[in-house]
Structure formats: structure tokens, C-alpha cells
Amino acid sequence: MDDLREKICAKIFGLRKALNLTQSGFAEKVGLSEEYIRKMELRKSTPSLESLFKIADALNLSIYDLIDFDQPKPERDEALNSVITLLQTRSPEDIKLLHEVGLKIFEGLDRHEK
């Protein structure tokens, strides 16, 4: 059980960091107390199933996304997962804007490389 707690807590910590949120900001976003988040990140508390659902719901993730602990991924996959996690928490308008900006950036990079 300790290994499972470690993996779940590490995943939640990684999500918080990927979103660039403080423990307080993350707690507010997911509807849990800052103390609860701190204890989870210190591995002193195992999140309840109810808490996992709150976290997943607040971040627009599935429970599966929180407990998917497949083998370690290469650095590129980690960066991609971080971007996906961030996008899953944004509004459709934000995602469309980021898509448009991203396309312009990559068009500029492609022109620069030629």
C-alpha cells in the first residue's frame, strides 16, 4: 500500500507543479484543504477515493489519468503529458487561443529553419 500511496501522491504533486499552483491555490481549485494537500505531498496521508474524484473532476481528468502508473516515460513524453494536463484544465476558448498561437510560433520556426 505504501508504494501505491507514493505513486498517487507523486502524481498529484506533479499535476500541481505542472499547473504552476501553490498548495493553497491547488487546494482551492480542487476543493480540498491546504493541510490535506500538504499531508498528501509529504506522503503522510493517502487520498480517499472521494478526494481523488474531486481532484480529477476539478482538473478535467479521469480517475484513470490519476492512477495510470505505466512505466516511466522519456523526457519528451513527460513534457507532452504536462502540456496535456495543463490543457485539460483550461476553457475551450483558452485551448483555441493556445492552438492559434502555437501554430504561429511553429510557422515562424519552420520559416527560420529554411
Q: Is the pTM of this model over 0.75?
A: no
For 65-113, write each residue's pLDDT tens digit.
888 776 555 666 777 778 888 888 889 899 899 889 988 898 888 788 6
The per-residue DSSP string of 57-113 comes to HHTT--HHHHH--PSP--HHHHHHHHHHHHHHTS-HHHHHHHHHHHHHHHHHHHHHH
Torsion angle, CA of 51/54/58/62, rounded to 10 degrees?
90
Grid cell locating 35: 493541510
For 33-76, write each residue's pLDDT tens digit.
999 999 999 989 889 999 999 999 888 888 888 887 765 556 66
